Structure 1
Amino acid sequence: MRSLSAWWAGALEHQAHRDARAPGRTWDLRLLPAALAAWAAGMLGTRLPLAQAALGAAACVVVLALLGAVLRVVLRAVADVVARGPAAGQPPSPRPPGHGAGRAGAAGGARADGRRNGPPRGSASWSALALAALAAAAVLLSAAADRPATGALGTVLTDGGTLTVTARVLDPPRPWSAPGPDAPAAGEDRTGVVLELALEEIVHEGHRERVETPATVFADGPAWAGLAPGARLTAVLRADGGQEAGTPVLRAAAPPGVLPAPERTAREDVRARFVVAAAGLGPDAAGLLPGMTFGERSGLDPELEQAMKDTGLTHLTAVSGSNCALVTALAGHAVLALGAGRRTCLLAGLGALGAFVALVGPDPSVLRAAVMGALGAAGLLTGRTALSLTTLAGAVVALLVVRPALAAEYGFVLSVLATAGIVVSARPLARLLGTRVPEVLGIAVAVPAAAQAWCAPVVVLLQPAVPVYSLPANVLAGPLVPLVTVCGLAGLLLLGLPGAPAALAEAALVPLTAGAAGTRLVAGTARLFAGAPAALAPWPDGPAGALLMAVPSAAFVLGVHVLDLRRRRPRPVSGTLRDGPAPPAPTEEDRRRAARRRRRRRAAVAVLALLLLAGPVLRAVLDARRGPPDWQALVCDVGQGDAVLLRTGPGRAVLVDTGPEPRALERCLQRGRVERLDLVVLTHAHADHTGGLPGALHRADVAELWYSTAAPGPPEQVHAAAPGTPVHRPAAGETRTLGDLRLTVLAPQGPAPRRRGPASSSEENDASLALRAELTGQDGTTVSWLLAGDLEEDGARALLRTAGPLADVDVLKLSHHGARNGGTDIIDAASPRLAVVSVGRDNDYGHPHPQILSHLARAGVPLLRTDEHGGVFLLREGDRLRAVPADR
């Protein structure tokens, strides 16, 4: 049996021979100007007013015609000069016999009449220029045609107003926040969700009109936050006016009315059965198996989703070119195995690709991959070689002509950049790595490295951080992707066959179980590297960060190509002859010593790599086995909002406020291993304190819910998000003992008086529940907390007049995220040993305010901030409080 070192040496020798025989790579750049022009036109066309977009398209056509006429005149003049031959008095240059006849048919050769064959010089550049101008004109015209500049929608977008729409939800709602009109002075924020709708029908001033237009809607309230993709609704929306370009941006004026779900289509039925089958194979398979098969990520665990984001593996759950290529190749090889010809195989592959796209949906990445595959197959059908860069450029032009808005979509941009990086830079990088590692390993490293280098400047715009372990994570997870995808596709095919659903579900479990094993390995890889030290390196955000990242990315790509060209350049054969005998050939013993040295070096590198990997693996295993510490309280990092867990027993706690976003709260409950919430307290009805309630209900069993508000009745999100859960509005003085926790309500003294119109922001803040919490440890000692919601100075004074000594506590949760309008009287009355504040990183409201920070410093009170420390466990050790980071 061959030793490992002998196999390694043989693999390197084989790679060196392959590399020496490989021809130099050239790229066909003729379609590249057209793709760049189409992209620029798409970026401009969706932002320019209608008249300017149409004028730009006409200008492209006019310029094209003028340049064509000028170039035609110049080329004809050049051709006439060439046809006249040498000047008078000069003998013709001698030619070998048969030169003209033998090459009369060659491109660029001389014909009998003295003119040249083939296209004239400059025709290639003229073709590229013509294609670029035509592509830009087509994209601009398409953008102008898609503009809702006429009809009721165009009128409302231009002049402002309200309209009633019937629409379908395209993407899950995403949280958003922005400073209020008086922020940061008052410190109040506006929060809600943003979602993409496909408008189907609009009603404006009594006129009904059918439309097919996507729109971006900003809304507030749990009814909007709970919408799922595919849901149909009616809603009243308003526009601010002045919108002449781009995707319509509307704001919700009222909660939506959800329409009855239409009868499920065959496509949706198959997908739903697949999701149900995957859910029974474990939590990792429930999220990753549908995602890696057809892009469905609704079941993905928030903690795993964050781990994949931190390790650069998010793209695995979005259908991309690799999935489309795999589907096409599998279908083509299946038909080929049955004895079909090349064209039949390609047509079968294209048919399978079309069915796959119909199943997945028109995601930008899928559209790009599908169009690129179709163009490549068409090239093969016509007998021409499919050049990847040309095919990619053609796909970009075709997609932008059909949908100009893709030019500004991050998914499409990243997909094209990743493909271009693989086409241009992966092969040179693999050749460089092939001199040190076997070919398979070199390709496994080169492909993700090239894609990441090209995409990095755009990625930092989405997430201003660098995933340090992205490359090794992709190298380890990459070989598992085909396994999971093939098994998922096999299960999907079985579930889609006509027949007995129960029997088909049983048959589909065989490939799905194998795919679930692959998803567990992918999830383990993500968690492993996400838990490693310094998994995310901070990076400047915005355009400055993108430009800063472009420098090392460009240097890396340029260095790879320069080194590859230098290594492949033929070495000079000239030299100096030296007198004397030739040096003696190395003996067998010399060769053995050199081989032993090489083996020792390789073994040292292997041991070093194993040690580097062993550290994160060991830490991840120990953290998983150890679990969270024996905490009393957990201050959750939920961004710009509040959420505090007070432990009542093993796996049980009381939650005070929920933060603005369900997934952030779910991650906090997961870190604390909380499975039951004995009580959920919503201190007041602002979204940064109530928006995460669906996450609490999804992640844990909720026994009871308390609320307070300045409105006469309970907040609508209470009934919308917690049907069947006991709901109570506690009064001041009410107490509740839950395990080791005793809660006392200190404020407000009573419900707000009835009023006309909604309560102001300040009135709602001052209606916050103020709670005194007493946590008793195993040694009988007690730690007291004061949690005062978003009380402003008036509300704090009212609290202190009635609370008396109950306001004196060990830990103070600063009211209103440390805003100035919370005042300092409550800090002086509480005289805490520790203060905590929950704020978002780089928030626009000035939280916590410098005046509050300086007052705490003068009082000698240490401060824990979630924007700086993340989530924090608070533990009691004797008479000391110890803080332990929760976000490990």
Structure 2
Amino acid sequence: MSNPSLSASAGVDTSQPERPPLDLRLLPAAAFAWLLAWVATGFPPLAWWLVVCCLLAATGALVWARQIDRSGRDNRVSAGALGAIAVVAAAGLLVSGTAAARAEARVPESITLAASDGYRVELHAVVTSLPKRDAQSIRVRVTTLAIDGQPAEAPVLLFLPASEQDASALEIGTELLVAAKLQTVPAGDRVVALAFACEPALVAAAPNSLLAAGNELRSSFVDLARELPGPGGALVPGLAVGDERLVDADLDAAMKVSSLTHLTAVSGSNIALIVMVVIGLGRLAGWKRAVRLAAAGAVVAGFVLLVTPQGSVIRATAMALLVLVLDATSRPVQGPPVLSLAVIVLLAADPWLARDYGFALSAAAAAGLLLGTRPLATWLERWLPPPIALLIAVPLAAQLACQPILLLLEPSLPLYGVAANLLAAPAAPVATVIGLAACLVAVVVPPLGQVLVWIAWLPAQWIGLIAETTTGLPFASIPWLDGALGATVFILVLAAIVLVAARLGGERWRRVRSLVAAVLTVTLAVIVAVAAGVAALRSRDLPSDWRLVACNVGQGDALLLSAAGATILIDTGDDAALLHDCLDEFGVERIDLLILSHFDNDHSGALAELRIPVDAAWLPDTKEARDEPDTLRLELSGATLHFGAAGDALAIGDLTLHALSPRPGLNGAPSRDEGNDGSLVVHAVPNADCAVSCFSTLLLGDVGAEAQRRILRSNVSLVATVVKVSHHGSADQSAEFYAAVGAQLGIVSVGDNNYGHPRDEALQQLAEAGTAWLRTDKHGHLAVFIRDDALTTWTSIS
């Protein structure tokens, strides 16, 4: 090992210039402020207690530090450490004080009353976000100005009918008049209520000229990008101006699985890039520093107006402005203190940002890049050249920092996320800068704007193709534990890996890395081969002529009927991911008729996340169904609503659907049946148009033994080839009823539960009726069809 002093004396300095140590003094204050903002907004009664505690802590630390400065006799703790404690407590005091002061006034009494009583109100509100459209509704964030003519200002998420609402009326800054029903949300949400519009909103006032200019730029650019083909055309507006309206559900899902979802909209790095471009152009033009900084600030303000203040944009804007201010005062700038200060300032202004996933992901990614890139790159340099190590370290640091938060949104790990980001990263800034230029130039010189948007399309298309390709690879998404437990386990696993890697250094690691690499390579090859083989076998084995499918959605119901090209979905279960797995596996892209037996969560809970269009819905004609928010949600989506009771019937395809329960009400009133016994019981019978795989199905919802006996006494035809066993096979069944049905096959839709479903008594009744049964928890998805004139079943679990 060379001696630095000898080298220096010979006139040669072989030492590397040392980087200044990272300034992390504000990091604890930012983390503490975030924690207190999260607690104070989610648990409002604690907010003032937090204020008192922080005030006492800050005051006590300052008094103690002053005593030490005066006497110099207390060596147990330094004045500097006490000063740091005071700063942390002061940051907590700022955010908890803001949350406490605003908590009560944030939810107007008129909203609470309207939501609790369920009556319709007239909202006067101003649009504050870009609208988001799905198959069922248009969602847009608004701030109410008045409710039923009385002043009331509050953030609300408004749901509007997708089939009837004019989207051009929902530009940011537009004042709306809309009749709606309100539903409160838990404390801590960015909005205080959900508003379900009863009819399309009317424009009360247009946006001011500044907002109107931004809206016009954005809309015209989206129209320009609409002509571009493939995923690139959908991604260009998001990359350039933060508008995601062209990104459909499939592309959004692909971007999530490939861990590229941050590229579907403007990210914080875009603002940093724009500031760098403005500063660079200013230097080339010979502008003075003050002029360059002022120009950068003005451009940032205009950019935020154009892309709207999303969570990531707010964080990056605050950091950019702080950097410009520090630069103007000739102060040294480091990333960690700027990020920490930006977080504290923003949370003090709006503590509810602590619960905004966009803001959290943006801050986590920035922290990962600032704190994790260099250590990761140094570790990777053991085996890779420094430029390659740095190239991999950048997306890996951001991915690892964001992953615990992402697990709260989607409990899965993107296996190819780092590789996808590595391939997509060079294309993102190109698409952003050229796309933004196209947006601005198209207004002045339209032909040049068209040329530029096509150039921006090339890197955007590359990003989209990476997402789609990655999603199609085997094991693109690895299931993980759900919720806070999953995030905590990931952090612990990551910490363990870091500790092992730190201990297994140098020569010891070099001895085992070849073996590890070989094992991983062989394992990956086996996984790919097995996955490809299983996929090929399943695609060959899956029946294309299914007539009935029971989806394995856990402890819940979700069944499909095929009716001569029309698709009927009966209930949704409560797990949207499991439901969509089933719909995807059986190629269902549209629901012609949705039947909701009743509104227990295990039968309708996944409706809010249903990603495919629903043309019509048949609901039980009960008071519960008429007042249910899901009913309004379906109506807003443009679905035709039908309410059914015993004696009603619907014809669809080659099936006629007869309602056997609930009992009809008197004089047009809803049925008096409620709860499980208010389930819409449907007898699906082939009609004269049925030519292939014709068999009848009885769908019982959750009706109990007494309701079953009542249906039996009504003397309607109950005979069916297949029966969906009521209430997941509970003991509340009528043996006489199942004997009258005389089904060949009973389907028990069931999952893990604490009720003992299916109960032995229920299965015994099926056996006595001569009905064989299959269970979704044991057999997975179940498909029923006719093959060689015999009832045939297929199961996803053999």
TM-score by length of 1: 0.69
Which of 631, 634, 650 in structure 1 is aligned with 2:545?
Answer: 631
Deviation at 1:328, TM superposition (A): 2.0
Which residue is 2:7 aligned to?
A: none
2: CA distance between counterparts of 1:539 and 1:307? 18
2: CA distance between counterparts of 1:146 and 1:749? 47
Query: Residue 68 of structure 1 aligns to which amino acid in structure 2?
Result: L
Determine if the alignment matches structure 1 residue 525 to structure 2 residue 466.
yes
Query: Residue 143 of structure 1 aligns to which amino acid in structure 2?
Result: A
CA contact (8 A) 1:417 1:451 kept: yes
1: CA distance between counterparts of 2:397 and 2:767? 50
Q: Report how many aligned residue pairs link the two structures.
A: 753
1: CA distance between counterparts of 2:637 and 2:99? 41
* CA 1:476–1:198: 2 relative to 1, 3 Å: same
* CA 1:759–1:25: 2 relative to 1, 3 Å: farther
Deviation at 1:518, TM superposition (A): 3.7
Matches within 5 A, 1:253-332: 255=198, 258-260=201-203, 262-263=205-206, 265-282=212-229, 284-285=231-232, 287-332=234-279
1: CA distance between counterparts of 2:643 and 2:495? 60
Deviation at 1:446, TM superposition (A): 1.4
CA contact (8 A) 2:232 2:457 kept: yes
Which residue is 1:772 aligned to?
A: 685
Determine if the alignment matches structure 1 residue 476 to structure 2 residue 423.
yes
Determine if the alignment matches structure 1 residue 745 to structure 2 residue 686.
no
Query: What's the C-alpha RMSD, in Å, of the aligned pairs?
Result: 5.5
Deviation at 1:489, TM superposition (A): 1.9
Which of 442, 451, 454 in structure 2 is aligned with 1:513?
Answer: 454
1: CA distance between counterparts of 2:56 and 2:302? 41
Deviation at 1:395, TM superposition (A): 0.9
Which residue is 1:584 aligned to?
A: none
CA contact (8 A) 2:704 2:727 kept: yes
Which residue is 2:674 aligned to?
A: 761
* CA 1:731–1:135: 2 relative to 1, 3 Å: closer
Deviation at 1:151, TM superposition (A): 9.9
Which residue is 2:28 aligned to?
A: 33
Render the CA deviation track for 1:650-672: whole Å, top value 9, x for unaligned.
xx323244748999888876665
Query: Residue 568 of structure 2 aligns to which amino acid in structure 1?
Result: L
SS across alignment from 1:436 = coil
Query: Residue 320 of structure 1 aligns to which amino acid in structure 2?
Result: S
Determine if the alignment matches structure 1 residue 208 to structure 2 residue 150.
yes
CA contact (8 A) 2:547 2:693 kept: no
Render the CA deviation track for 1:221-274: whole Å, top value 9, x for unaligned.
97999998766634464779xx99987855779957834364362222332233
Which of 324, 336, 350 in structure 2 is aligned with 1:389?
Answer: 336
Determine if the alignment matches structure 1 residue 413 to structure 2 residue 360.
yes
Which residue is 2:285 aligned to?
A: 338
* CA 1:202–1:443: 2 relative to 1, 3 Å: same
2: CA distance between counterparts of 1:820 and 1:412? 49
Matches within 5 A, 1:557-636: 557-558=498-499, 630-633=544-547, 635=549
CA contact (8 A) 2:48 2:96 kept: yes
Deviation at 1:28, TM superposition (A): 0.7
2: CA distance between counterparts of 1:58 and 1:472? 48
Query: Residue 347 of structure 2 aligns to which amino acid in structure 1?
Result: L
1: CA distance between counterparts of 2:458 and 2:688? 43
TM-score by length of 2: 0.75
Determine if the alignment matches structure 1 residue 45 to structure 2 residue 43.
no
Determine if the alignment matches structure 1 residue 140 to structure 2 residue 96.
yes
* CA 1:662–1:406: 2 relative to 1, 3 Å: same
Which residue is 2:794 aligned to?
A: 883
SS across alignment from 2:697 = strand
* CA 1:239–1:615: 2 relative to 1, 3 Å: closer
Query: Residue 646 of structure 1 aligns to which amino acid in structure 2?
Result: S
- Which runs of 5 or more structure 2 residues have no equivalent in the other structure? 1-13, 508-512
2: CA distance between counterparts of 1:293 and 1:628? 43
SS across alignment from 1:137 = helix
Deviation at 1:53, TM superposition (A): 4.2
Percent of aligned pairs with the same amino acid: 28
CA contact (8 A) 1:310 1:536 kept: yes
Query: Residue 794 of structure 2 aligns to which amino acid in structure 1?
Result: A
* CA 1:622–1:318: 2 relative to 1, 3 Å: farther
* CA 1:162–1:332: 2 relative to 1, 3 Å: same
* CA 1:774–1:790: 2 relative to 1, 3 Å: farther
Query: Residue 93 of structure 2 aligns to which amino acid in structure 1?
Result: A
Query: Residue 146 of structure 1 aligns to which amino acid in structure 2?
Result: R
2: CA distance between counterparts of 1:529 and 1:314? 13
* CA 1:23–1:646: 2 relative to 1, 3 Å: same
Render the CA deviation track for 1:680-699: whole Å, top value 9, x for unaligned.
36466759778999999975
Deviation at 1:394, TM superposition (A): 1.0
Which residue is 1:786 aligned to?
A: 698
Determine if the alignment matches structure 1 residue 807 to structure 2 residue 709.
no
Query: Residue 38 of structure 2 aligns to which amino acid in structure 1?
Result: M
* CA 1:629–1:340: 2 relative to 1, 3 Å: farther
Matches within 5 A, 1:415-564: 415-495=362-442, 497=443, 499=444, 504=446, 506-558=447-499
Deviates more, 1:270-279 or 1:688-697: 688-697
Query: Residue 553 of structure 1 aligns to which amino acid in structure 2?
Result: L
SS across alignment from 2:772 = coil
Render the CA deviation track for 1:131-186: whole Å, top value 9, x for unaligned.
323322222332233233499639969998899554457677999xxxxxxxxxxx
CA contact (8 A) 2:743 2:771 kept: no
Which residue is 1:23 aligned to?
A: 18
SS across alignment from 1:630 = coil
CA contact (8 A) 1:173 1:225 kept: no
Which residue is 1:99 aligned to?
A: none
Query: Residue 356 of structure 1 aligns to which amino acid in structure 2?
Result: F
Deviation at 1:399, TM superposition (A): 0.8
* CA 1:645–1:737: 2 relative to 1, 3 Å: closer
CA contact (8 A) 2:662 2:671 kept: no
Which of 749, 753, 774 in structure 2 is aligned with 1:863?
Answer: 774
Which of 548, 560, 573 in structure 2 is aligned with 1:644?
Answer: 560
Deviation at 1:371, TM superposition (A): 0.8
Deviation at 1:836, TM superposition (A): 4.2
Deviates more, 1:424-433 or 1:25-34: 25-34
Determine if the alignment matches structure 1 residue 199 to structure 2 residue 144.
yes
Render the CA deviation track for 1:493-535: whole Å, top value 9, x for unaligned.
234x3x5xxx62x543333334444444434433433343333
Query: Residue 344 of structure 1 aligns to which amino acid in structure 2?
Result: V
Which residue is 1:181 aligned to?
A: none
SS across alignment from 2:203 = coil
- Which runs of 5 or more structure 1 residues have no equivalent in the other structure? 1-18, 82-120, 176-191, 568-597
Query: Residue 340 of structure 1 aligns to which amino acid in structure 2?
Result: W
* CA 1:475–1:875: 2 relative to 1, 3 Å: farther
CA contact (8 A) 1:162 1:237 kept: yes
1: CA distance between counterparts of 2:204 and 2:779? 44
SS across alignment from 1:362 = coil
1: CA distance between counterparts of 2:576 and 2:204? 26
Deviation at 1:423, TM superposition (A): 1.1
Query: Residue 697 of structure 2 aligns to which amino acid in structure 1?
Result: W
Deviation at 1:125, TM superposition (A): 3.8
Query: Residue 630 of structure 1 aligns to which amino acid in structure 2?
Result: S
Which residue is 1:654 aligned to?
A: 567
Which residue is 2:350 aligned to?
A: 403
Deviation at 1:216, TM superposition (A): 7.3
Query: Residue 233 of structure 1 aligns to which amino acid in structure 2?
Result: V
CA contact (8 A) 1:775 1:784 kept: no
Query: Residue 407 of structure 2 aligns to which amino acid in structure 1?
Result: V
Query: Residue 260 of structure 1 aligns to which amino acid in structure 2?
Result: V
2: CA distance between counterparts of 1:710 and 1:610? 54
Which residue is 1:71 aligned to?
A: 65
CA contact (8 A) 2:693 2:785 kept: no
SS across alignment from 1:198 = strand
